[in-house]
Structure 1
Amino acid sequence: MSQHKWFETVAIAQERARRRLPKSVYKALIAGSEKGVTLADNQAAFAELGFAPHVIGAPPERTLDTHVLGQPMSMPVMISPTGVQAVHPEGEVAVARAAAARGIAMGLSSFASKPIEEVVAANSQTFFQMYWMGDRESMARRMQRARDAGAVGLIATTDWSFSNGRDWGSPIIPQAMDLKTIITRSPEALVRPRWSAQFARTGRPPELSTPNLTEAGKPAPGFFEAYYEWMQTPPPTWDDIAWMAQEWGGTFLLKGVCRVDDALRAVDAGVSGISVSNHGGNNLDSTPASIRCVSAVADRVGDQIDVVLDGGVRRGSDVVKALALGARATLIGRAYLWGLGAGGQAGVENVLDVLRGGIDSALRGLGRADIHDVQRSDVLVPDGFTRELGVVPAPASVPEPVAVG
């Protein structure tokens, strides 16, 4: 990799992406809902956790390989599905290739800009993500298409609501990249010549359609057309989730669980795993950080299904902290998007290398030879850190009446 593309931390990748991307594109990536309380806490909470290191006897080599949701992976990190990756012309295909090159699984959004067939061709360990939208017949058709394409699992995202107002304002996302929009946005693009040149070489503007939601004989709907369909669909019930799991008939990850009672219901619904997530701070603001909720959930259902964490991961040490608190792996979203924006496939690979190096370094400091050897005692959890949401307290015992003779 050439020196100008190299970065040693995810923070540097983010700064490179900020300098390269048009302002509105970058703002869309960093957005959170309302005041951004959850967005900030997702990262800040990791800093509250400490490590208890060993200084003697560190293993000379460390093993990071693992299995998550039935998939062998080189490290406990997965690509979280994110919609319409217009930060780079190759979008999700570039991310899929990077993930495959580094031996990890890919999550593909149903709102993605690239079709699932191309993404699976780039990474055979692709999970297809769906929202509860439309009717069951249309959802079943989307599942069948994903199945035919070779998707190894399904992700049902439930941690996204209509809470989209932002105190700092929201970037205006166009309905489509038509001629009028291109002319209107050209001043913003012209001050980012390297980004603009990437798309100019393809002869196409950034793609805002959703090809994975295409119905037979119809063009791919635009992002907002798909978004409106989702908004008009009544939210799913637990029976609907059970139907999805049964209809898919394979590995099924329910994304968006923060409460213990929801986790227990998810197990009853037949899921293979749950992602403790708050949609990167883009859902109900003031929800606790994912890392604060994961241990309570993992303690209750981690012996039955895979529990993964999504939200705020920026360092390899964050991954190790999540594993110590009971997660099987972590998903990353913004971190790889910074890499994609900064350098395409090579940038994503760079981010994954940064995370792998951080995981290895943390294992060495903790004196652990294998990622599966990480224990709860390896992290220092301050009082009041954990949020046990949805835990029903046991009823107080009532003393038996004492007979008076």
Structure 2
Amino acid sequence: MSIFNVNPVTVDDYRRRALCRLPRFLFDYLDGGANAEATLAANVNDFDRFRLKQRVMRNVDQVDTATTLAGFDAAMPVALAPVGMAGMYARRGETQGARAADSQGIPFTCSTLGICSVEEITAATGKPIWFQLYMLRDREVIKSLLKRAEAAGVTTLVFTVDLPLPGMRLRDYRNGMIGTNLRSKLSKAAQLTTSPGWIFDVGIKGKPHTIGNLSDVVPDPDDLNEYKAFIDSQFDSSVTWDDIAWLRSIWPGKLIIKGVMEVEDAQAAVNAGADGLVVSNHGGRQLDSVASGIVKLPAIAEAVGDQCEIYLDGGIRNGIDVIKAVALGANGVLIGRPWIYALAAAGEQGVKDLLGTFQSEIRTGMALMGVNNLSELTPELVERV
């Protein structure tokens, strides 16, 4: 039976549809990880190392999945993570994702490297969003981006710290995603011929294909290679926690540090003034063979959970995974690949439907565990196997 003859429900359902719709180089850019992709797999598989306790004969007539994430009143402990070039996976994809998140009552995070600018995204919903940023060598560009974000109504900055240089994402080399030589161009052109629907809907009708937040700092905003050259020149491997303290001094809103995997770094983030942190290995896209986020979460939550908000990303594929993360100390989770799979497969409605499934899974799971509120999800309700 064709995958298009059944309704997509799970993340894997949407992933299979996205694979059929997208040019291979775009699908693998989203789907792949660093090197042998051991960490990419561990992020997902390690959730199976934790089991929930089922408890019966408790009054669960008032199950409530609502919470507050960085001051945002959220319908469930989930936010859409920043994903670079999301607008290449569906027409003006960031705006579709933001509208879907708004309809489901959860935060949306705009990537520095998104196709749509922060102004375009906030105009699409009329609501505040989160904004993700990297440390760039040109600090004036950072100041400019922060001013734009603040003017657009952003109140929460998600600052990524695990990218002093990009990881070795070998699928991108294989597919010609990285490289401007003739072989790479011919490879991408051949892959495009298999996706005529994408070419029309995104390639043609989805223009302009600029990196919206950086369009005023590159010589030719219509040339993605110009953006790549600029970004490559801006990776700053000299960054330390002193730079985060500087960032804290110029950003008036909430500050969440993304990319923390060790207790000592979590403590340093708090000391630098972070309001929250994301336990994250960049979705397995940076250093391969590091531990999964879910394994690292409990120790970090125990060390600094009373000093800042704790989030987890990487490997979350359903509402049960969300319950495990919250029970192990997270205030909430960020999902990246899942919402992009849904976006590529079924647009804004696909993201809405997937988020609806997540919320139903969270609510049902909580009821079967005998709890009514997220605050009742504690480590005692999780068994490690």
Fold agreement, TM-score > 0.5: yes
Equivalent residue for 1:117, pick from 119, 131, 135: 119
* SS of residue paired to 1:256: strand
How big is each residue's C-alpha offset from its partner over 1:26-51, in whole Å with a ceiling of 9 and x where there is no partner? 11111100111110100010011101
> In structure 2, do the counterparts of structure 1 residues 343 and 203 end up closer, same or farther at CA, with 3 Å as the change threshold?
closer
Tell me the residue number matched to 2:367: 364
The answer on 1:171 being equivalent to 2:172 is no
Tell me the residue number matched to 1:323.
Answer: 326
Measure the CA separation in 2 of the matches of 1:204 and 1:108.
Answer: 18
- What are the superposed Cα offsets for residues 132-151 of structure 1, whole Å, 9 maximum, x if unpaired? 11322221111011111111
Match of 2:229 in 1: 225
Distance in 2 (CA, whole Å) between partners of 1:217 and 1:286 is: 35
> 1:48: which partner in 2?
49
Equivalent positions of 1:3-402 (< 5 A) are 6-85=7-86, 86-123=88-125, 124-160=127-163, 161-166=165-170, 170-173=174-177, 185-199=188-202, 202=205, 204=207, 207=209, 209-215=210-216, 219-220=220-221, 222=224, 223-231=227-235, 233-382=236-385
Q: Distance in 1 between matches of 2:178 and 2:200?
A: 20
Amino acid at match of 1:236: V
Q: Deviations over 1:35-69 (max 9, x none)?
A: 11110100010011101101322513411110011
- SS of aligned partner of 2:260: coil
Amino acid at match of 1:119: I
C-alpha deviations, 1:352-376, integer Å up to 9, x for none?
Answer: 1121111112101101111221111
Partners of 2:17 and 2:188 lie apart in 1 by 21
In the TM superposition, residue 173 of structure 1 has moved relative to its aligned partner by 2.0
* Cα-to-partner distance string for 1:48-99 (whole Å, 9 max, x where unaligned): 1101101322513411110011111110000110101211112111111110
Unmatched 5+ residue regions in structure 2? Answer: none
Q: How many Å separate the matches in 2 of 1:149 and 1:349?
A: 24
Which region of structure 1 is more displaced relative to structure 2, 319-328 or 148-157?
A: 148-157
Q: What secondary structure is seen at the aligned counterpart in 1 of 2:162?
A: coil
- The 1:168/1:144 distance shift into structure 2, 3 A limit, reads closer
Q: Which amino acid aligns with 1:90?
A: R
Q: What are structure 1's unaligned runs of at least 5 residues?
A: 383-405
User: Matched residues in 1 for 2:340 and 2:241: separation?
Assistant: 32
Deviations 1:266-313 (A, max 9, x none): 111001100000000011111100000111111111111101001100
2 CA distance for matches of 1:137 and 1:150?
Answer: 20
* CA distance 1:201–1:244, change in 2 (3 Å): same
CA shift in 2, pair 1:227/1:263, >3 Å: same
1:84-121 C-alpha deviation (Å, 9 max, x unpaired): 12111121111111101111101111111001101112
Moved more, 322-331 or 236-245: 236-245
1:293–1:190: structure 2 CA closer, same or farther, 3 Å change rule?
Answer: same
Change (3 A) 1:365 1:255: same
Cross-structure match for 1:402: none
| Pairwise CA distance, 1:198 | 1.3
Residues 200 and 45 of structure 1: CA distance in aligned 2, closer, same or farther (over 3 Å): closer
Instruction: Tell me, in whole angstroms, the C-alpha distance in 2 between the residues paired with 1:187 and 1:216.
Output: 31
Residue pair 1:34, 1:285 contacting (<8 A) in 2 also: yes
Quote the offset at 1:16 in angstroms. Answer: 1.1
Q: Are the equivalent residues in 1 in contact too, given 2:28–2:172 (CA < 8 A)?
A: no
Q: Which has the larger radius of gyration?
A: 1
Measure the CA separation in 1 of the matches of 2:312 and 2:197.
34
Q: 1:5 to 1:304 in 2, by over 3 A?
A: farther
Using the TM superposition, give the Cα deviation of residue 201 of structure 1 relative to its aligned residue in structure 2, in angstroms: 6.0
Distance verdict in 2 for CA 1:135–1:364, change over 3 Å? same
Identity percentage over the alignment? 31
Q: After alignment, is 38-47 or 368-377 more displaced?
A: 368-377
Q: Which amino acid aligns with 1:228?
A: D
Paired residue type of 1:52? K
Task: Spell out, residue by residue over 1:307-352, the C-alpha distance to the aligned partner (whole angstroms, 9 max, x if none).
Answer: 1001100010000000000000000000001001101111111221
Structure 1 contact 58–366 (Cα < 8 Å) conserved: no
Partner Cα separation in structure 2 for residue 199 and residue 55 of structure 1: 49
Number of residue pairs aligned between Structure 1 and Structure 2: 373
Q: Structure 1 length as normaliser, TM-score?
A: 0.86
Q: Which amino acid aligns with 2:294?
A: I
CA distance in 2, matches of 1:263, 1:69: 17
1-structure distance, mates of 2:141, 2:206 = 33
Q: In structure 2, how many angstroms separate the alpha carbons of the residues matched to 1:165 and 1:203? A: 26
Shift in Å at residue 214 of structure 1? 3.3
Inter-partner Cα distance in structure 1 for 2:206 and 2:142: 33
- Structure 2 Cα separation of the partners of residues 138 and 39 of structure 1: 32
Residues 52, 170 of structure 1: CA spacing in aligned structure 2 closer, same or farther, 3 A cutoff?
A: same
Q: Name the stretch that deviates more: 328-337 or 50-59.
A: 50-59
